[in-house]
Structure 1
Amino acid sequence: MRPAKHPVSAALAGPYGHPFHPILVTVPIGAWVASVVFDLASHVAGDDAAYLAHGAQWLIAIGVLGALAAATVGFLDLFTIPAGTPAFRTGLVHMTLNLAVTVAFALDFWWRAAGTDTGRAVPAGPLVLSIVALAVLGVSGYLGGKLAYRYGVRVADETTQATGFRR
């Protein structure tokens, strides 16, 4: 299992024990969660609804760009996992869900940009799409946690992990 601990390129994927992917995913997660908060707030904000709706749209764009960066590094991490293993299968599902979420939010951004009504709260369609995409992201995040914490992919080998528990 040693190959699952070391990246294709430490300069791109992060050094052993400190992969960049878990750090980079905080950008899209934070931006997309904040966009849903802005969306919901746009329904109770009255005159400021348009500002919140516009802010949510740009948070979605930031999230998509951040997701593309995280996906690039995550793909390098996937290359370190031996094919046919439970960790590899989990990694494929994690990647597929994340790509689907990124596409959903990209479509969400486009849907909002194509709308002509900029003076009101976010319409129900884009709001529902954001909430569903965020729910799928939660499932994918669980799988990402399983890769790091259960399988130790790119985090630490068993010997290194054991040193943290010695007295």
Structure 2
Amino acid sequence: MTDELHQAKRPMSAALAGPYGHPFHPILVTVPIGAWVASLVFDVASQFVSTPGFLAMGSVWLIGIGVVGALLAAMVGLLDLLTIPRGTAAFRTGLVHMGLNLAVTVAYVVGFFWRQNSYGQADAVALGPLLLSAVSLAALAVSGYLGGKLAYHYGVRVADESTQAAGYRR
């Protein structure tokens, strides 16, 4: 294993980013992903029910929870990114992944404040904020694909093959 690959598998700080072979970033990203998917479901559902206000209000809360979760995941993800040697394909992929995630988070912050004008009203979610959420979620899916490429293709923060092989010995 090259020194660069070995470096990308080891945490910068095990206490902050998770121990070798078990990074915290993948578990933390489930919070914003789940919250933002659920918020879009609430947005769409608000278009079809007789009392959409509760769903619209729930969507605002879910967006806020997702933003807080995204900021936590971003801090830990940055630590993982800094373990990747600069000038490599993995590092460039990590930069695009991070840039997309930051853009998505900013879009959800914008959506959160855009919805504040109608917060507490009994109306369904307006088309503009609903479309912003849908586009943001699509961008998040692209970023998630890149995050998967970092882990599954490039092996960033994944245990090396000799460590993995121990799980298959009888």
1:103-118 alignment to 2 at 5 Å? 103-115=106-118, 118=121
Partner of 2:156: 153
User: Aligned match of 1:45 in 42, 49, 68?
Assistant: 49
1:97 and 2:110 are equivalent in the alignment: no
2:35 and 2:120 mapped to 1: Cα distance? 23
TM-score (norm 1): 0.95
Structure 2 residue ranges without an equivalent (≥5): none
Partner of 2:125: 122
- Per-residue displacement from partner, 1:75-115 (whole Å, max 9, x unpaired)? 00001000011110110000000000000001000000133
Structure 1 residue ranges without an equivalent (≥5): none
Partner of 2:39: 35
Report which stretch shifted further, 116-125 or 99-108. Answer: 116-125
2:74 and 2:62 mapped to 1: Cα distance? 18
2:169 and 2:154 mapped to 1: Cα distance? 20
1:60 and 1:37 mapped to 2: Cα distance? 12
Which contiguous aligned blocks of 4+ residues in structure 1 show a shift greater than 3 angstroms?
161-167
Aligned residues: 166
Partner of 1:20: 24
2:11 and 2:168 mapped to 1: Cα distance? 25
Deviation at 1:155, TM superposition (A): 1.2
